[in-house]
Amino acid sequence: MEITPKSLAALTGGDVEGDENAVITGFAKIEEARPGDLSFIANPKYAHYIETTGATAVLVGKNFVVDKPVTPVLIRVADPYATLAQLLRMVEGMKPQPEGVEQPSYVSEGVALPEHVYIGAFAYIGKGVKLGKNVKIYPQVYVGDGCEIGDDSVLRSGVKVYEGCRIGSRCILHSGAVIGADGFGFAPHDGKFEKLPQTGIVEICDDVEIGANTTIDRATFGSTVIGEGTKLDNLIQVAHNVTIGRSNVFAAQTGIAGSTHIGDGNMVGGQCGFAGHIKVGDYNEIGAQSGIPNNVGSKRRIIGYPAIDARQFAKNQVYLKNLGKLYDEIKNIRKQ
Amino acid sequence: MEITPKSLAALTGGDVEGDENAVITGFAKIEEARPGDLSFIANPKYAHYIETTGATAVLVGKNFVVDKPVTPVLIRVADPYATLAQLLRMVEGMKPQPEGVEQPSYVSEGVALPEHVYIGAFAYIGKGVKLGKNVKIYPQVYVGDGCEIGDDSVLRSGVKVYEGCRIGSRCILHSGAVIGADGFGFAPHDGKFEKLPQTGIVEICDDVEIGANTTIDRATFGSTVIGEGTKLDNLIQVAHNVTIGRSNVFAAQTGIAGSTHIGDGNMVGGQCGFAGHIKVGDYNEIGAQSGIPNNVGSKRRIIGYPAIDARQFAKNQVYLKNLGKLYDEIKNIRKQ
Amino acid sequence: MEITPKSLAALTGGDVEGDENAVITGFAKIEEARPGDLSFIANPKYAHYIETTGATAVLVGKNFVVDKPVTPVLIRVADPYATLAQLLRMVEGMKPQPEGVEQPSYVSEGVALPEHVYIGAFAYIGKGVKLGKNVKIYPQVYVGDGCEIGDDSVLRSGVKVYEGCRIGSRCILHSGAVIGADGFGFAPHDGKFEKLPQTGIVEICDDVEIGANTTIDRATFGSTVIGEGTKLDNLIQVAHNVTIGRSNVFAAQTGIAGSTHIGDGNMVGGQCGFAGHIKVGDYNEIGAQSGIPNNVGSKRRIIGYPAIDARQFAKNQVYLKNLGKLYDEIKNIRKQ
């Protein structure tokens, strides 16, 4: 890659401040960038690095303020992070993709292999599986009988998809993700627990990304659903019969218990736990490590165990910090 | 499948209210059921769906109350959930099971393959492994040297069992479960940590189910033990030298630190953490996300971080909620 | 193995109290040991077992006190746990190691296989991979294009390493560990989340051990780094651009959010969560299930959600326990 701020500005609709013919050959974080690198500032926490960075050019916001002249060329754009993403995707898109069938692999009789499909070595494709165009199945993936995988989806090495599950188009499933294992259902009987067979499936809609070692259980009946454009980080647990709507992001190690329904556009921190059989609305921000025992409305900011309004949580922290003083004060009052 | 309420009642010892000759062809959740479906109501939270469900027949409890006539045929049984489980297992039991040895797979010389065994493609069976009758080893499973697996057990795709571990009969291990990895033992020495080799094994007793991506570490010496009939959900961590008794259920993402002993019949919520070297008795109910730092007796209901009596926890939540008012009140008293 | 206390004392610089010619044939925990076993006492909690153990000999500290004569031979050493580790490593070191290339496996053209390398069946070695001497790649491992793995490192069955990552010498990666999956980076755009390609790598330094099903994401740019001698337990999440220093130990199920920097020698309990973009110093002890939202200095003992000084946490627990009484007291004062 070799590109100038001038070309970048043209590609991204940005404005250049500085040498528009400088040569950019790579990307780097602002604090690690060296000459030749393009970097970016999206988080104000990192703004001060503009004075010390070695970057040749930096993507900044339209209103980014510099108090004194700086070395790097500034490329002002509406959303530096989104622009960076766009540029990186362009570069990524130029990389050659794997294609063809490596041997040995196991493709059941009758499975059609559309154009540009990749089947890595030691991958297993069960009976009646339907693969879309350009699907990339990396080595050691297991796709059980009757699964469907939409166009352009990628299953990285070691993904396991149990029988009958459906994965949409343009999905990315990272290594170790397990889709469609049995939901955790047992009927107590005579002091023992008897298995409730899980007869449903998992349905993953288009443009979903599933992190490494995340597990999504099949429904008892019907489907466990991950809605369009939702992104799940690593080591997340989604129990049977959960439905998640569109364009949510869930950070790592969060767990969602059975039959809970989550709406659209929620941002959920890491290590949260959602109780079973609850409803969560849309566009909530839920802080890391929260416990969510009950229904949640929409557009709320909550945190805590159990989760409460984020402002109330902050107040409570102050109260808790001062509990010792409170006890002392009561003691004094009592004396008087 | 095609069956009538009459036949179902005969199979399950239930009583029919309504058309005993209606035709049932499938199962569904009460809120999603359509004509032809059998459904069930076990949780009172779902009782109201009896008025709107499309189900042809519904399994309900002996004392389930209907205020007005309802459309579905009611089949009254002692325990609707257990009866449903029984029916689903019957249907499940009729499904054809995989059998035989797929190629390529790796079965070490001298390993006997009893009747009805399935060895999936890319599975690896180490030296001296003993497999019981009807064992199902799915593709890409690894069974290390010297392991034993009892009759009728199922290891789903990608399970890894380290050398020397023992798995009982009728166990189900879901994809990505890792049995017998080294316990986390290090001796600090000169500011570094030196590995303590883990020379023991994992012993999984009969009728245990292990969730996807759950990890159970081998003992330093002796055995890490999962007792008969215990069920572990996904992404659970069981550290070295832990022993768990019979018929416990652990929800997802719970962790149990080293050398802790847990009794029988406990029900543990998701994301709980048990400290190491403690003892937990029998038949406790432990709420989700609890931290258990010390010994626990038996038949207790506890929750919290650290876990306390569940009623006390509920009271504390009220106290915490009112802390602001308390501070205000103290302020007033001081003024007076 | 057959050894005497006399020989053991010579090997470990210990002093024998009792029959120095007794015969030791194995190791066991103090509470489970039988005649012929060598055991150890490192934790005072277990000291009382010296009176009841069946062990033939026990490693104890220089100052270990026995009130009355005991049956086992005592071998006094400076650090019983470290000495035990040393002995176990000696025994471990005598075990035969796998070697050679099992078939079928997939080794890309041009990959050199140095002496004593083991490539298990169904392992996949990508293009341009560099393997050190004595590297052990177990069955079903995936090593992506361009990875480097240093001398004497072991990748247990099913480990996945994405393209371009670097693993040092003498590392142990347990089954299901995923190294180098994409960091969780998305740019919100028009109500959707667009993927930010993750162009960096993971760099694991020498003498690191990574637990089963632990996930370490590749950096957006540059490297996610696990420093020399650091040990990660099972099911841990390390997000993109995290750097961890030397000789830390992290217990299971802990998560570290993106771009956080952690120093050296920290001991972190299970199920902790570190916020993103923070700095943690050296030699801290962080209690299990803690939430760490902000920077942490060095040599601190913290715990809680959010984490505070461990002594303050203990005090707060007492305050919380007494909140009910406090409310009652205020009520009384108000009456008066």
Tell me which residue in A140, A157, A249 faces C193 most closely, judged by beta carbons: A249
Tell me which residue in A122, A182, A222 faces B29 most closely, judged by beta carbons: A222
Q: Give the residues of chain B that fall short of pLDDT 50.
A: none
Higher pLDDT residue, C2 or C178?
C178
**In order of start, what are the domains of chain A with their CATH numbers?**
5-94 (3.40.1390.10), 112-266 (2.160.10.10)
Query: What pLDDT is recorded for position B1?
Result: 72
8 Å CB contact between C323 and C332: no
User: Residue C289: left if φ>0, alpha if ψ -120 to 50, beta else—which one?
Assistant: left
Query: What pLDDT is recorded for position B38?
Result: 95
Would you state the structure tokens that stand for residue B60, as one six-digit string?
Answer: 């309900």
8 Å CB contact between B160 and B141: yes
Helix/strand/coil for C239:
coil
Biggest CA-to-CA distance, chain B? 90
How many whole angstroms separate alpha carbon C28 and alpha carbon B147? 21
**Model confidence pLDDT, tens digit, residues B44-54:** 889 999 999 99
How many whole angstroms separate alpha carbon B270 and alpha carbon B248? 13
Question: Which residue intervals of chain A are DSSP H helices?
Answer: 5-12, 80-94, 310-321, 323-335
Q: Which residues of A are catalytic?
A: 240
Which 317-336 residues of chain A touch chain C by CB within 8 A?
317, 320, 323-324, 326-327, 330, 333-334
Q: SS3 for chain B, per residue?
A: CCECHHHHHHHHCCEEECCCCCCECEECCCCCCCCCEEEECCCHHHHHHHHCCCCCEEEEECCCCCCCCCCCEEEEECCHHHHHHHHHHHHHHHCCCCCEECCCCEECCCCCCCCCCEECCCCEECCCCEECCCCEECCCCEECCCCEECCCCEECCCCEECCCCEECCCCEECCCCEEEECCCCEEEECCEEEECCCCCEEEECCCCEECCCCEEECCCCCEEEECCCCEECCCCEECCCCEECCCCEECCCCEECCCCEECCCCEECCCCEECCCCEECCCCEECCCCEECCCECCCCEEEECCEEEHHHHHHHHHHHHCHHHHHHHHHHHHHC
Report the alpha-carbon angle C272-C278-C281, nearest 5: 80
Query: What pLDDT is recorded for position A92?
Result: 87
Instruction: Determine what percent of chain C is predicted with pLDDT higher than 70.
Output: 100
Residue with tokens 């048990």: B274
**Among A175, A196, A210, A330, which would you mutate to test the B interface (most chain B Cβ atoms within 10 Å of its Cβ)?**
A196
The answer, for B247 touching chain A at a CB cutoff of 8 Å, is yes
**pLDDT confidence tier of residue A333, bands split at 50, 70 and 90:** confident
Residue C21 pLDDT > 80: yes
Tell me which residue in A28, A172, A252 faces C221 most closely, judged by beta carbons: A28
Chains that touch C (3 or more CB pairs under 8 A): A, B
Q: Which amino acid is at C82?
A: A
**What percent of chain C is helix, strand and coil (3-state, nearest 5)?**
15, 30, 55
Tell me which residue in B102, B252, B265 faces A237 most closely, judged by beta carbons: B252
How many whole angstroms separate alpha carbon C128 and alpha carbon C264? 33
Going by their DSSP bridges, the two strands A243-244 and A261-262 should be labelled as parallel
Instruction: Determine what percent of chain A is predicted with pLDDT higher than 90.
Output: 83
**B158 burial via Cβ count (<10 Å: 0-12, 13-18, 19+):** buried
**Among A30, A153, A156, A157, which would you mutate to test the C interface (most chain C Cβ atoms within 10 Å of its Cβ)?**
A157
Helix/strand/coil for A289:
coil
CB atoms under 10 Å from CB of B145, counted, come to 14
Query: What pLDDT is recorded for position A334?
Result: 78
Would you state the structure tokens that stand for residue B324, as one six-digit string?
Answer: 């602001």
Least confident among A133-142, B88-97, C246-255, C307-316: B88-97
The b-or-e profile of A213-225 (16+ CB within 10 A means b, else e) is: bbbbbbbbbbbbb
**Model confidence pLDDT, tens digit, residues A202-253:** 999 999 999 999 999 999 999 999 999 999 999 999 999 999 999 999 999 9
Query: What pLDDT is recorded for position C256?
Result: 98
Which 259-278 residues of chain C touch chain A by CB within 8 A?
271, 273, 275, 277
Round to the nearest angstrom and report the end-to-end CA distance of chain A.
78
**What is the interface pTM, i.e. ipTM, of the complex?**
0.94
Residue A336 pLDDT > 80: no
How many whole angstroms separate alpha carbon A197 and alpha carbon A212? 26
The answer, for B224 touching chain C at a CB cutoff of 8 Å, is no
Question: What is the torsion angle, in degrees rounded to the nearest 10, for the CA atoms of residue C254, residue C255, residue C256 and residue C258?
Answer: 170
- Rg, Å, chain A Cα set: 25
Residue A1 pLDDT > 80: no
**A333 burial via Cβ count (<10 Å: 0-12, 13-18, 19+):** middle
Higher pLDDT residue, A241 or A188?
A241
Which 141-160 residues of chain A touch chain C by CB within 8 A?
156-158
Query: What pLDDT is recorded for position A97?
Result: 94
Q: Which amino acid is at A58?
A: V
**Model confidence pLDDT, tens digit, residues B121-165:** 999 999 999 999 999 999 999 999 999 999 999 999 999 999 999
Which 85-104 residues of chain C touch chain B by CB within 8 A?
85-86, 88-89, 91-92, 102, 104
Chains that touch A (3 or more CB pairs under 8 A): B, C
The answer, for C10 touching chain B at a CB cutoff of 8 Å, is no
CB atoms under 10 Å from CB of A212, counted, come to 33
Per-residue pLDDT, averaged over C298-327, amounts to 92
Rounded to the nearest angstrom, the minimum Cα separation between C157 and chain B is 7
Q: Which amino acid is at B278?
A: I
Per-residue pLDDT, averaged over A312-333, amounts to 87
